Chain A
């Protein structure tokens, strides 16, 4: 996981803190509620969402991805150091291995529904930056989730350079 403050994950976390995470702010609670129920188009009409799109340089072509990102970030209430996959799995998993397998294979609307449920199972707490980064790059993220879910560290990219 990159800790680069300029990484998309870090930018999205900043945005989440400012617009959704502050539970004492009525505006944040209201935006989160709207986003959780919003149809894709309605989510894109939120000024805050457009602000995030600009910060992440996401144009109209990335609308689906952006909607998925903000709808799921709206599900999270609290930050945690552990990634969502770690909070779901481990030695006494909150999410069953079979459900996890389904999550790994899901696509489109089913994926969003399962991820929503997953955030709920994790008491709406997880590492926001990691979740945002993973949602933006879901293909690469899935193998890492496998490791985290089963309580191990994922392989780091520095190995790849040494493959002979």
Chain B
């Protein structure tokens, strides 16, 4: 039977292009590039699992200790992980990895249920699985089943009555630092500081903490997380199968209901000071600079958003790095999109970061003004939202150029204002100008007025114009000044 500590079971891609299957301790061996599962969401969760294992067995005591132990040490990792083997059998009569301690009775579901984008029984019955899929996996080999099980528990969406979401809700947003030096460097870069734990901290080593009466599982007193953050068990599951493979999954409702945890690999926000911290979730579509706030860029003086601990720690650990931003964008239990993107790590002095945040907020104001102006040409809803997305996509390249200017200590504010104005007006014109003279005269008036307002916004007039100027650190015009427009 597969033991996930002792046996090699993780497929990896190496720098020389070869593919191997390794045990967790071997990730500290040189030349390994990344996990190599057949699905990107499994790769993402695999990083989280490995980071969790190192945190469980041998975390850095503090960031100084982190620096000292920067070099990989496979033998030490092997030795430290050894005592956890008891908790990492996938099958068998003892405790099983991420499964209920006692066998569950019931009809097994197909193993597809472990994948977030599989069709539920009802969807399949109604033949409504257009974007999700049924019957893809007849049987999973043990390593794939183990990885899918972990992924499912870590990112679980709600699954009907009593089937809990993960500690971070359904489809959390994951942000990890990537120093770009292979698998070990990524894992080590994201391991939180702390003390090692014992195997009995893992929730499947004892009877499941049920939640049918609303009982909640809180982190240890005075902390926002423990190693359990990486090994949460919101769903009560038992895999059905043998050494040959897993054929089904039995599920029971009312697994652990996690409350007030902060997972170290996700950014959090709250609606107002004193309110509960909530994990951020990805939106479907491109992850671009408009989504940076609170995920890779700190808002000035914002008490209500917090980057992931992994990114905050990196500020102390330091060095060149990029940030992996990934996760399932969900609509409740329906998967909409899997987001996977690489963003720069912003290593900026406070003043420069504030300026950068100002650029983002200015673009936000400009996009709102554009959307408002387009009311004269586009119908409500998706069409206008799409135009807004297009606005951000079109300005992304210029924004990244300005980021370099900010890094070099310059101020791109005036150029950025010009970029935003150009893009907004040309986008407006592309939609409004063709055939303008053939429209009803009332509609022509509306469009002309809308354009006037829009170009006024970039001269600092109106609500968005004021906001735009403030975010760029410019003085909005005083009333009564003559107005310049495009």
Interface residues of chain A, those whose CB is within 8 Å of chain B, are: 97-98, 100-101, 104-105, 142-143, 145-147, 149-153, 155-156, 159-160, 162-164
Contacts and interface: CB of A to CB of B under 8 A. Distances in A.
Contact of A100 (B422, B430, B436, B441): B441
Given A104-B438, A146-B437, A152-B451, A162 B426 contact: yes
Given A97-B441, A105-B438, A146 B448 contact: yes
A143 B423 contact: no
Contact of A155 (B433, B440, B445): B433
B442 A143 contact: no
A83 B452 CA distance: 18
Interface residues of B, number: 24
6 contacts: A97-B441, A143-B436, A150-B444, A155-B429, A155-B433, A162-B422
Given A159-B486, A160-B426, A150 B438 contact: no
Given A152-B452, A159-B429, 7 more contacts: A143-B433, A146-B437, A152-B485, A155-B433, A159-B422, A164-B394, A164-B426
A147 B437 CA distance: 10
A146 B444 contact: yes
A142 B437 contact: yes
Which label, helix, strand, loop or mixed, suits the secondary structure of the B interface?
helix
A98 B444 CA distance: 11
A9 B57 CA distance: 82
B270 to A, nearest CB: 37
B331 interface: no
B429 A104 contact: no
B423 A101 contact: no
Contacts of B486: 153, 155-156, 159
B451 A101 contact: no
B436 A155 contact: no
Contacts of B436: 142-143, 146
A143 B437 contact: yes
A100 B436 CA distance: 13
Closest 5 CB pairs of A and B: A142-B437, A97-B441, A150-B448, A101-B441, A104-B437
A162 B422 CA distance: 7
Interface of B: 394, 422-423, 425-427, 429-430, 433, 436-438, 440-442, 444-445, 447-449, 451-452, 485-486
Nearest to A141: B437
B439 to A, nearest CB: 8
A13 B444 CA distance: 30
B423 A97 contact: no
Determine the main DSSP class of A at the interface with B: helix
User: Which of A142, A160, A164 has most chain B Cβ within 10 Å?
Assistant: A164
A97 B426 contact: no
A101 B440 contact: yes
Contacts of B451: 147, 152, 155
A83 to B, nearest CB: 14
Nearest to B450: A152
Given A104-B438, A143-B436, A159 B425 contact: yes
Contact of A152 (B429, B430, B448): B448
Given A143-B436, A153-B486, A163 B430 contact: yes
A19 B444 CA distance: 37
Nearest to B447: A146
Contacts of B430: 163
Residue picked from A149, A151, A153, A159, most chain B C-beta under 10 Å? A159
Given A162-B426, A163-B426, A97 B445 contact: yes
Nearest to B453: A152
Nearest to A105: B438
A164 B430 CA distance: 11
A145 B445 CA distance: 12
Contacts of A164: 394, 423, 426
Contacts of B447: 146
B448 A159 contact: no
A100 B439 CA distance: 11
